[in-house]
């Protein structure tokens, strides 16, 4: 499974990345690749117009908001 955080690295993007890592840790998941995409062209190519955004296996799950740890965990189960 690949999780992508899409955003410029702003505080909101960093908070989203923290939430993702916490969700992965709480679920005890292995073989998860967490990637942060900073390149605006790649972000737009994925169809995201508002950051921060989160994609799980290249499917956009959230855009323009910071989902909480429990919501992220529901997408990873």
User: Which listed residue (1, 10, 34, 44) is catalytic?
Assistant: 10
Tell me if residue 10 is catalytic: yes
For residues 16 and 7, the answer to whether their CB atoms sit within 8 Å is: yes
Q: Which two tokens stand for residue 47?
A: 């169809």
Tell me if residue 43 is catalytic: no
User: Which listed residue (3, 6, 13, 48) is catalytic?
Assistant: 13
Q: Is 9 left (phi over 0), alpha (psi -120 to 50) or beta?
A: left
**Positions marked catalytic:** 10, 13
């Amino acid at each position: 499974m690949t999780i992508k955080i899409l955003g410029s690295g702003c505080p909101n993007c960093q908070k989203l990345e923290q939430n993702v890592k916490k969700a992965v840790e709480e679920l005890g998941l292995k073989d998860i690749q967490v990637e942060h995409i900073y390149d605006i062209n790649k972000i737009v190519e994925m169809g995201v117009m508002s950051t921060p955004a989160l994609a799980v296996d290249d499917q956009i799950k959230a855009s323009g908001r910071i989902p909480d740890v429990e919501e992220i965990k529901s997408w990873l189960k």
